[in-house]
C-alpha cells in the first residue's frame, strides 16, 4: 500500500451498523459518524469523501459482516485494504485511553492506514470464484468440526460401555464399513447378536480387503467382556443415530470437496499449488484464500512469519539466547501448512528432511514445523514465478580418488 491518497477511511464493521472515520494525509478528520450497513448509505458516504480525492477504504473484517462495504467500495472504484485484528489491537495500545468503542477503533484503523501502510494487507481480488470458494471452504470447516464432534461422541460412548470394542472400532469410526455396522447393528449387544455371517456380509461389502479381519477383531473384542455395563441398552439405540449422522456429514464433505475442486480448477494458481506434494484440494483452497498469489509478502520469511511457522528468536544481552515456536500468526494458514507438511511425508525429499530433523533430536511436531517452514520457501518461489513444483535433482556422488 502507498500513501498517495487524499482520504484514509477506517471502517469498524458491525452487523447492522459500522462506524466510519475519514482522515486526510495530515490526520485531520473529514468524517466521523455511524454508518448503516446498506448500499445506498455506503455509496453516499464514499461519494462525499471522493470529493477530496482518491480514497483508501480500510476494514477490520473483509468477509461476512464486512463483505458489503468492501463490495460497494470496489464498485465505486476505491482501493480496499485490510488491517488484521491482532495488528489493530497492538497499534491501539499506542494511542491514549483504554476505552473500547467503535469510534475509537475506526479512528485507529484510519490512522494506521495513514501512518503505518506496511501493517495493511491486501484484500484479494473480489471475483465471484474466490467469494464462492470462501463460502464453500468455510462450510467445509464447519462440517469437519461436526464430524469430529460426532466421532468423539461415538468413541466416548463405546469407551464407557465396552472399551475393547472401542479399541477396534474407534480408530476406524469414519470408515464406511464401521459406520454401516453401527447403523445396522447398533452397540455391543446388537453387534454380538448379529453373528459373524451378517457382520462379514456388511464389512466385506464396504471394505473388501479388510472386512474379514475387521469382523475377527470385533468378535475377539466382544469376547473380552462378559459383563454388561449400565447404559448399554440405551447406547444400542443412540449409536445407530450417531453413525447415521456422521455418515451424512461425511457425504456432505465429499460433495463440497467436489464443488471446491471445480472452482479451484478454474483458478490460474490451482495447478501451481496442487503440484506440490502434500497439497490437496482443501489445503490449496485455504492457502489461496489466505494469501492469494503471495505478492503481498516481500520474502518467504515474511510469509512464514505471517503463517506463524517462523521461529521466534529471544536474544537479550548474554543471558537470554534461544528460539521458540511462534504462538501467533494466521491460524488457518498455519494449520494448512502443517497438514500439508504431514501429508508430504510420503515424498522422498520431504521425508529425508523430516528424518534429518528427527535425528537432530526434534520431536515429531517440531520436525513438521521445520519441514513446513522449508516448504514455505519453495511455495513462495512457485507462486512468485508461477511455476509448478520440481523435485530437487539428487546430488551426484563424488568419485573416489583412484
Kindly state the percentage of the chain with pLDDT values over 70: 92
Please compute the mean of the pLDDT values over residues 326-330 and round it to a whole number.
75
pLDDT at 319 over 60: no
For residue 313, name the pLDDT band (cuts at 50, 70, 90).
low
Place of cell 447415521: 244
For residue 1, name the pLDDT band (cuts at 50, 70, 90).
very low
pLDDT the model gives residue 399? 46
Q: Which of 170, 383, 147, 379 is nearest to 256 (CA)?
A: 147
For residue 164, name the pLDDT band (cuts at 50, 70, 90).
very high
pLDDT at 186 over 90: yes
Contact indicator for 8, 117 with CB cutoff of 8 Å: no
pLDDT at 217 over 60: yes
pLDDT the model gives residue 316? 54
pLDDT the model gives residue 132? 84
pLDDT at 21 over 90: yes
pLDDT at 101 over 80: yes
pLDDT the model gives residue 291? 87
User: Residue 53: which region, alpha, beta or left (left: phi > 0; alpha: psi -120 to 50)?
Assistant: left
For residue 402, name the pLDDT band (cuts at 50, 70, 90).
very low
Count of CA atoms in the C-beta half-sphere (13 A) of 93:
5
What is the rounded distance in angstroms from the CA atom of residue 377 to the CA atom of residue 140? 28
Q: Which three cell numbers stand for residue 384?
A: 512468485
The residue ranges of DSSP E strands in 109-255, in sequence order, are: 121-122
What is the rounded distance in angstroms from the CA atom of residue 157 to the CA atom of residue 165? 11
296 or 301: which leads in pLDDT: 301
Contact indicator for 274, 280 with CB cutoff of 8 Å: yes
pLDDT the model gives residue 289? 87
pLDDT at 46 over 50: yes
What is the rounded distance in angstroms from the CA atom of residue 158 to the CA atom of residue 163? 6
The top-scoring range by mean pLDDT among 95-99, 173-177, 328-332 is 173-177
pLDDT the model gives residue 338? 94
CA distances from 118 to 35, 84, 87, 122, 368 (A): 27, 12, 11, 10, 30
252-262 pLDDT, tens digit per residue, is 999 999 999 99
- What is the residue-averaged pLDDT of the chain? 89
Domains in the chain, CATH or no CATH each: 7-123 (3.30.420.10), 134-262 (1.10.287), 270-385 (no CATH)
Instruction: Identify the DSSP state of 395.
Output: P
Instruction: Identify the DSSP state of 300.
Output: H
Amino acid at each position: 500500500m502507498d500513501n498517495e491518497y487524499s482520504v484514509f477511511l477506517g471502517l469498524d464493521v458491525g452487523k447492522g451498523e459500522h462506524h466510519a472515520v475519514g482522515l486526510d494525509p495530515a490526520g485531520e478528520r473529514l468524517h466521523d459518524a455511524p454508518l448503516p450497513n446498506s448500499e445506498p448509505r455506503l455509496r453516499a458516504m464514499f461519494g462525499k469523501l471522493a470529493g477530496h480525492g482518491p480514497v483508501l477504504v480500510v476494514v477490520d473484517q473483509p468477509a461476512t459482516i464486512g463483505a458489503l462495504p468492501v463490495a460497494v467500495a470496489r464498485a465505486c472504484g476505491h482501493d480496499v485494504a485490510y488491517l488484521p485484528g491482532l495488528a489493530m489491537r497492538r497499534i491501539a495500545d499506542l494511542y491514549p485511553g483504554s476505552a473500547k468503542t467503535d469510534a475509537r477503533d475506526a479512528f485507529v484503523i484510519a490512522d494506521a492506514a495513514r501512518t503505518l501502510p506496511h501493517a495493511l494487507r491486501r484484500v484479494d481480488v473480489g471475483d465471484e470464484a474466490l467469494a464462492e470458494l470462501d463460502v464453500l471452504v468455510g462450510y467445509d470447516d464447519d462440517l469437519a468440526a461436526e464430524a469430529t464432534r460426532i466421532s468423539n461422541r461415538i468413541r466416548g460412548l463405546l469407551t464407557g460401555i465396552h472399551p475393547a470394542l472401542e479399541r477396534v472400532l474407534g480408530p476406524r469410526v469414519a470408515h464406511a464399513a464401521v459406520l454401516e455396522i453401527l447403523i445396522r447393528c447398533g452397540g455391543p449387544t446388537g453387534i454380538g447378536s448379529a453373528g459373524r455371517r451378517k457382520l462379514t456380509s456388511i464389512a466385506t461389502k464396504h471394505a473388501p480387503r479388510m472386512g474379514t479381519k475387521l469382523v475377527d477383531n470385533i468378535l475377539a473384542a466382544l469376547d473380552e467382556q462378559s459383563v454388561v455395563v449400565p447404559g448399554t441398552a440405551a447406547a444400542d439405540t443412540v449409536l445407530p443415530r450417531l453413525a447415521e449422522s456422521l455418515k451424512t456429514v461425511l457425504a456432505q464433505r465429499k460433495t463440497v470437496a467436489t464443488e471446491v475442486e471445480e472452482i479451484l480448477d478454474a483458478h490460474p494458481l490451482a495447478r501451481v499449488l496442487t503440484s506440490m506434494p502434500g497439497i490437496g484440494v482443501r489445503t490449496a483452497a485455504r492457502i489461496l484464500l489466505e494469501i492469494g498469489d503471495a505478492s503481498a509478502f516481500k520474502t518467504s520469511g515474511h510469509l512464514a512469519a505471517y503463517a506463524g511457522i517462523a521461529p521466534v528468536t529471544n536474544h537479550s544481552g548474554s543471558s537470554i539466547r534461544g528460539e521458540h515456536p511462534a504462538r501467533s500468526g494466521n491460524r488457518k494458514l498455519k494449520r494448512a501448512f502443517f497438514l500439508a507438511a504431514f501429508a508430504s511425508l510420503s515424498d522422498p525429499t520431504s521425508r529425508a528432511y523430516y528424518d534429518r530433523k528427527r535425528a537432530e533430536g526434534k520431536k515429531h511436531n517440531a520436525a513438521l514445523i521445520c519441514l513446513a517452514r522449508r516448504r514455505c520457501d519453495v511455495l513462495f518461489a512457485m507462486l512468485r514465478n508461477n511455476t509448478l513444483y520440481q523435485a530437487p535433482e539428487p546430488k551426484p556422488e563424488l568419485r573416489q580418488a583412484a
